[in-house]
Structure 1
């Protein structure tokens, strides 16, 4: 691994002690040994959102085995969006791949996103995972389908699944986006607001093998209503202007 890797894999975690080691090893298996532009030149940045179990201890133990692994710890619990942003800020790669820390995203899909980037135009700055065969409960799938339909109607972001944790995006473009809690659920709309294009890519989805979900359908819905109104306002008030030096 170089001091400036081509790719940084950012993983936010909260109380995921039993999922840390399997996921880290899967990331390494998916990327190590590949060509640099295909993800072989990479680092892994875990952001611990002040876990109360053995997550941090598990990460510290893994650092001795996995030289690509770096660990950032929040000094106060701040939520997933802040963890993603702080991971991106700490990352050294020009491109960022994100994964949820629960193991439901498949690291083997990262090369697929990189391959899609290689065949896409430069103005595409976000490649969003699309869970075409979700392995969640029926109520969770129904709630997600309902939320995606409302979001798509309001924001017109042409994205079938914004809640998927696996994404690939340019670091610089991400850091220019407005930051707010839960903003990670609206990255396609926010990238488009900034003048960039986005592409959805079908990816694998797996059942959670350990730990418990940190969300339920009710709290997602209550927060989502307020967020949607806010993002719609941002889009309405946004303006992108090309410039040139004279």
Structure 2
């Protein structure tokens, strides 16, 4: 087995923890049983999101006898996205695996996903699909189906199950991805903008045995709000004038047209326009249009301030296509491309 050192580390498993004291021991046992036979060097990073139970204390105790366990403790409850980002920042492995701490994801699926990633060098992210999901339909499955449909349609990255936490990433595919708020469910879509190739694979799913779910039907509303930001981020981050300016012109043109009609009636026909609703509508549309265009101009200035002083590039280069094997230097023919 490869020595488990940061320089040689192959796999980092990132697990956000919040009030999972009843599941922690079993989680560590199952992860160890899944990973130890693989012969890979690995670490388990558990991020305690300021649990109100004894999760943090248990993690500290378990870490004294398990050198592969690296717990992190957030100073307050930031939420799952911040906890996952802390895990990504601390991960030293060439591959990063994420899963929930409630044991609804099965750690036994991890070795198979890692093997699949090895066999598919063109793939950067494998996303789990809870095809036979063991949750209640009304408050879990139905909102999830609606959310997954919305996300797939608006981001262009079509997955059945964005909410499944069991995912495998090549570390370089998420190096430039930063998640805020509750954007952890959008990581495949965010990574896709940096050129990551994503596939979806069915994985096991179990009913929760201990503790309580942290999600409810109100999660769908939060997903919609986050989705608006992700849509803007993916489409207009480098061209905010196209978003605000387009909406501004759409309002400005009918506003100016309305005011122009009223000016003609006043100047050439001598009609009284002071009490006309069209006057109020024209002024309102014109002011709103001017404000939106001005916001677009400010956005263009800000995006240049963001990129230029810090020397940030507006683009990223990708590496040459990965191949499954090296060409034989004595061979006169090039290796066949992957299918």
- TM-score of the two chains, using structure 2 as the length reference: 0.67
Q: Unaligned 5+ residue runs, structure 2?
A: 238-313, 320-339
- 2:28 aligns with 24
Deviation at 1:141, TM superposition (A): 0.8
1:2-55, Cα deviation, whole Å (9 max, x unpaired): 23311011110111100111011100000013232xxxx101110000001010
Q: Which residue of 1 aligns with 2:206?
A: 206
Q: Secondary structure of the equivalent of 1:149?
A: helix
Match of 1:222 in 2: 221
- The question of whether the paired residues in 2 share the 8 Å contact of 1:11 and 1:45 is answered with yes
C-alpha separation in 2, matches of 1:54 and 1:242: 45
Residue 2 of structure 2 corresponds to residue 3 of structure 1: no
Preserved CA contact (<8 Å) 2:124 2:196: yes
Q: Residue 165 of structure 1: SS of its match in structure 2?
A: coil
Q: Which residue of 2 aligns with 1:89?
A: 89
The corresponding residue for 1:125 is 124
- 3-state SS, counterpart of residue 198 of structure 2: strand
Match of 1:56 in 2: 56
Q: 1:208 to 1:237 in 2, by over 3 A?
A: same
How far did 1:160 drift? 1.2
8 Å CA contact retained: 1:148, 1:160: yes
In 1, distance between residues paired with 2:182 and 2:120? 28
> Which fold has the larger relative contact order, with Cα–Cα distance below 8 Å and residues 6 or more apart in sequence?
1
Aligned-partner Cα distance in 2 for 1:20–1:131: 22
Q: CA deviation at 1:241?
A: 5.1
d(CA) in 1 for partners of 2:169 and 2:191? 10
What is the distance in 1 between the residues matched to 2:236 and 2:119?
A: 32
Please show how residues 6-155 of structure 1 align to structure 2 within 5 Å: 6-36=10-40, 41-122=41-122, 124-139=123-138, 140-155=140-155
The verdict on how the C-alpha distance between 1:64 and 1:158 changes in structure 2, with shifts beyond 3 A counting, is same
1:157 is matched with which residue? Answer: 157
In 1: Cα distance, 2:74 partner to 2:316 partner: 36
Secondary structure of the structure 2 residue equivalent to 1:236: helix
Runs of 4+ aligned structure 1 residues displaced above 4 Å come to 238-241
Question: CA deviation digits over 1:123-163, x for unaligned, max 9?
Answer: x2211111110011111111111111121111120211110
**Does structure 2 retain, via aligned residues, the 8 Å contact 1:125–1:191?**
no
Q: TM-score, normalised by structure 1?
A: 0.92
The answer to whether the 8 Å contact 1:19/1:102 transfers is: yes
Higher helix content, 1 or 2: 2
Deviations 1:103-142 (A, max 9, x none): 11000111121111012134x2211111110011111111
Give aligned pairs, total: 238
- CA displacement at 1:243 relative to structure 2: 7.8
Q: What is the CA–CA distance in structure 2 between the aligned matches of 1:230 and 1:147, rounded to whole Å?
A: 15
Of stretches 170-179 and 138-147 in structure 1, the one that deviates more from structure 2 is: 170-179
Q: 1:195 to 1:115 in 2, by over 3 A?
A: same
Q: Which moved more, 1:17-26 or 1:175-184?
A: 175-184
For 2:6 and 2:205, how far apart are their aligned partners in 1? 32
Are the equivalent residues in 1 in contact too, given 2:14–2:46 (CA < 8 A)? yes
Larger Rg, first or second structure (1 or 2): 2
Unpaired runs of 5+ residues, structure 1, are: none
